[in-house]
Amino acid sequence: ASSVPGSSGRPESPPRPTACRRSATARVFEQVSAAAPAAAGHRRRLRMLQIWGRLSSINVRKVVWCAQELAIAFRRTDAGRQYGIVQTPAYRALNPNGLIPVLVDDESGGAAVAPLVLYETAAICLHLADMHPSAGLAPLPGTPARAQFYKWLMWLTNTLQAALISY
């Protein structure tokens, strides 16, 4: 259970670009959930990312789209604008800027390490792509193709998006 108000704790399954992907993601989630061992004293935890932000935000949609493309199970909690939450001390502990989206990955560093908390859309998407390199969402690090990928990603976030917002 989250300490931030408004968290539903339910897995989110926003609309997928194609019915094929949606059903594949749903099947994976159901299989992993059903596979949890029933043996006494042994619990297998399903890795579940938490995404904070409302779907009416283009930046939250980018993170959700990235997670869906990678078939990653996640929960999303509405935050920002009409949902509030972003000015609470608990949320400000996640993102001192009080903005969305925020990703909380409670298993990225292992059980003995505090959860990884990321904000900034591009940083979140790069982290997700790097955690799942076999999906091919981004070129391999250290390659010329990855350098071009970084160039266009930075152009998109720093030049094009800024121009579109002021338009």
pLDDT digits (tens, 9 = 90+) for 109-157: 566 678 899 999 999 999 999 999 999 999 999 999 999 999 999 998 8
Query: In terms of C-beta density within 10 A (0-12 exposed, 13-18 middle, 19 or more buried), how is residue 154 classed?
Result: exposed
pLDDT of 165: 79
Average pLDDT, the chain: 77
Q: How far is CA 37 from CA 33, 40, 74, in A?
A: 10, 9, 21
pLDDT of 161: 82
Is a pLDDT exceeding 60 seen at residue 72? Answer: yes
Is a pLDDT exceeding 50 seen at residue 166? Answer: yes
H/E element, 99: none
Query: How many CA atoms are closer than 13 Å to the CA of 39, on its beta-carbon side?
Result: 5
Is a pLDDT exceeding 90 seen at residue 55? Answer: yes
Tell me the per-residue pLDDT of 14-34, one tens digit each, with 9 for 90 and over.
Answer: 444 333 343 333 333 333 233
Cβ-contact 55, 64 below 8 angstroms: yes
> Any idea which of 10-14, 24-28, 45-49 has the lowest mean pLDDT?
24-28
Cβ-contact 91, 28 below 8 angstroms: no
Longest dimension (CA), the chain: 60
